[in-house]
Amino acid sequence: MRVGVPTETKSGETRVAIAPAGVHALAARGHEVLVEAGAGRRAGIEDAELESAGARIVAGADAWAADLVLKVKEPQADELGLLRDNALFTFLHLAANPALAAALVAAGTTALSYDTVQLADGSLPLLTPMSEVAGRLAVLAGAHHLLGPHGGRGVLLAGVPGVPGARVTVLGAGVAGAQAIAQAAALGADVTALDLSLAALRRLDERHGGRVRTVASTAHAIEEAVRGSDLVIGAVLVPGRRAPTVVTHAMVESMPRGSVLVDIAIDQGGCFEDSRPTTHENPVREVAGSQLYAVTNMPAAVGVTATRALTNVTLPYVLRLADGVDDAVAADPALAAGVNVRDGRIVHPAVAAALGEVPARA
């Protein structure tokens, strides 16, 4: 099979969908790997390294014309004309992108999304490493924008002896939320974590020895926690669906002036009422005197780390797909859950429901 890897074109994106080890593994199984010139450069991978591993460096159109196309981020508006009836494996986030869903349907693309590949225990193995990266970055971004020169209220996240650290609220205790909680607590912040799952809150309590305040998530509890926070991190995820809105504009108005909100769920539409996608070049916008960070590709800030973390987990699935997409999907329920669009129809139930469609059988 021909496996194509185009250069990512989303604003600020630095990751690439394959590393030299992945090229070598595919080539060893007899597959042809076509990588667009310069695709890995911003992730610290030069064309020569990919060629040495067995790739052929090509123009972007050739990479898109492969039997299986590997990307990191969803196709951008200027890439929709390159879609065709091949297979595409990437982050899609279709619940928040009806235009892309329609383009994939029209092109007849078999579109698989990393973020809906789901194991029997409910875990999302291909989303997990990027959630880990985003959770840690959320705290760093929040700490940065709390600084006075960057528009914040001048609060040091860690505090100093005699002065407490910033008050940090994390909404959601899944993978991203748990990483944000651990990072903020390790830096010395005063951390409150909210989640619907009491089991998740118990795990946090045990992990942090009671140093993190845990609260069962209700609308009232969120309102109370947000009101007194210097930094609020939204990490609410429902696989395949738009993120629920858990922080209203009125709640943001109640926060101290110069406080910061970071919406990790922005790829799925965002979990703050005021969230609008931002970029690494212009990461925040002011809302009611607070700064709202909603960058849709947060891990691109650390492209070298994020590329390696992502390709570590995607490669086993890529190898199976390259050996035959239909057979791979039929043999693996987790990979079958990753199929969002097939044969000109939306087949993932949650994505279809989010877009107001009736799902077809996968």
Catalytic residue numbers read 93, 267
Nearest to 18 by CA among 216, 339, 315, 356: 315
247 - beta bridge partners? Answer: 272
Dihedral Cα 129, 131, 136, 138, nearest 10 deg: 150
CA distances to 45, 76, 77, 78 from 81, rounded to whole Å, are 27, 10, 8, 7
* Structure-token pair, residue 282: 């212009």
Quote the CA–CA distance of 113 and 127 in Å, as a whole number.
10
Closest by CA to 109, choosing from 81, 76, 83, is 83
Task: Round to whole Å and give the CA distance between 148 and 137.
Answer: 19
Amino acid at the residue 11: S
Q: Rounded distance, CA 7 to CA 40, Å?
A: 7
β partners of residue 192 = 169, 213
Phi/psi at 35 (5° precision): -115, 130
- In whole angstroms, what is the distance from residue 331 CA to residue 333 CA? 7
Other beta carbons less than 10 A from residue 225's beta carbon: 23
